């Protein structure tokens, strides 16, 4: 996988509970498709997860579950590298060098640090402040050409680009300066209860998000309770954020345009519309859930995939890290 004319993509996801419908639409759904065109490296970002206090046993379990769910969603370990971040020490090793090439002011301007500090005021740790540097190391240690990013990660990718350029200027060309990868199609999925906010599994209201492993009855119930409005007509509008959000979800899962959806539900109430949205999600998630359970039950297979992935990732990352260590003047034996 190291010798290829294809561009390399790096992406990761934290193992802090089951992925949401928003995670699926915004990221995971596209990852399997990218395998055909790019060299893909996908990591379970468990090192990033501990900026917020985690239960160790849960983190271990959820790391394996996250890997199983990625595989169930169509990521092929014969085509992509799939691994757990902490299994490749070069991430942390490179992060220290990059920290010494990152300005305090740059990190101070990271909006996610401010947001997370406010949410976790009892644990504003140094890792929360410096984790954008670790994120830069994740990307640069593989010389990734492209990084899929959402609106909330654009600032972090720009920092990675700045760090790479600064290091290259100081020590000669070393890192590929990564570019953002913007999916051709996608939708920003909002909370079912507060459609002006992004869907998040950290929301205290469980009816605000759909988890990929939710049972069909739970999916139907959550969509039935989704906030709409009093008008009763299905069409997209800034004044109808709840309905527009449901239309976005239905469009992704059925391939229908907003115009087709509006025609389909013309003269019909929100109840029938919500049932249809729920069923479209269930039809996609049910086979994924079955495959997830099959993979998770085969511990030897799953751990074998992760071990092989870590070995592949380490071969690339260790070369980059050794080159960086030599350039900054670390004595090598």
Catalytic residues: 116, 198, 201
If one counts every other C-beta atom within 10 angstroms of the C-beta of residue 307, the result is 13
CB-based contact 27:148 (threshold 8 Å):
yes
Question: Is the CB of residue 181 less than 8 Å from the CB of residue 164?
Answer: no
In 3D, which of 206, 224, 215 has the Cα closest to residue 282? 215
Task: Quote the tokens at residue 226.
Answer: 């989704």
Contact assessment for residue 61 and residue 287, using Cβ atoms and an 8 Å cutoff: no
For the chain, what's the residue count? 333
Question: C-alpha 105: how far from its chain's center?
Answer: 26
- Give the 3-state secondary structure of 226-286: CCCCCCCCCCCCCCCHHHHHHHHHHHHHHCCCHHHHHHHCCCCCHHHHHHHHHHHHHHHHH
């Amino acid at each position: 996988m190291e010798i290829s004319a294809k561009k390399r993509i790096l992406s990761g996801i934290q193992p802090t509970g089951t992925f949401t419908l928003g995670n699926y639409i915004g990221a995971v759904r596209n990852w399997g498709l990218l395998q055909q065109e790019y060299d893909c490296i996908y990591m379970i970002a468990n090192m990033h997860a501990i900026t917020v206090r985690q239960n160790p046993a849960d983190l271990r379990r959820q790391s394996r579950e996250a890997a199983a769910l990625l595989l169930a969603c169509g990521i092929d370990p014969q085509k992509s590298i799939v691994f757990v971040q902490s299994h490749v020490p070069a991430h942390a090793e490179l992060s220290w060098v990059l920290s010494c090439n990152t300005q305090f002011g740059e990190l101070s301007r990271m909006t996610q640090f401010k947001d997370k500090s406010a949410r976790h005021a009892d644990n504003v740790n140094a890792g929360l402040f410096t984790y954008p540097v670790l994120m830069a190391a994740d990307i640069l240690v593989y010389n990734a050409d492209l990084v899929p990013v959402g609106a909330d990660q654009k600032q972090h990718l720009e920092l990675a680009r700045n760090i790479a350029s600064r290091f290259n200027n100081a020590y000669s060309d070393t890192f590929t300066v990564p570019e953002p990868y913007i999916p051709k199609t996608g939708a920003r999925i909002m909370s079912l209860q507060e459609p002006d906010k992004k869907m998040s599994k950290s929301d205290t209201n469980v009816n605000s998000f759909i988890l990929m492993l939710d049972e069909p009855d739970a999916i139907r119930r959550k969509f039935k309770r989704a906030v709409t409005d009093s008008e009763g007509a299905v069409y997209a509008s800034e004044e109808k954020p709840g309905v527009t959000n449901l239309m976005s979800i239905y469009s992704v899962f059925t391939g229908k345009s907003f115009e087709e959806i509006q025609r389909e539900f013309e003269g019909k109430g929100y109840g029938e519309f919500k049932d249809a949205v729920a069923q479209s999600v269930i039809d996609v998630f049910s086979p994924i859930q079955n495959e997830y359970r099959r993979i998770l039950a085969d511990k030897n297979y799953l751990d074998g995939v992760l071990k092989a992935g870590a070995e592949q990732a380490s071969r690339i990352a260790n070369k980059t890290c050794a080159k960086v260590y030599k350039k900054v003047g670390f004595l090598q034996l």
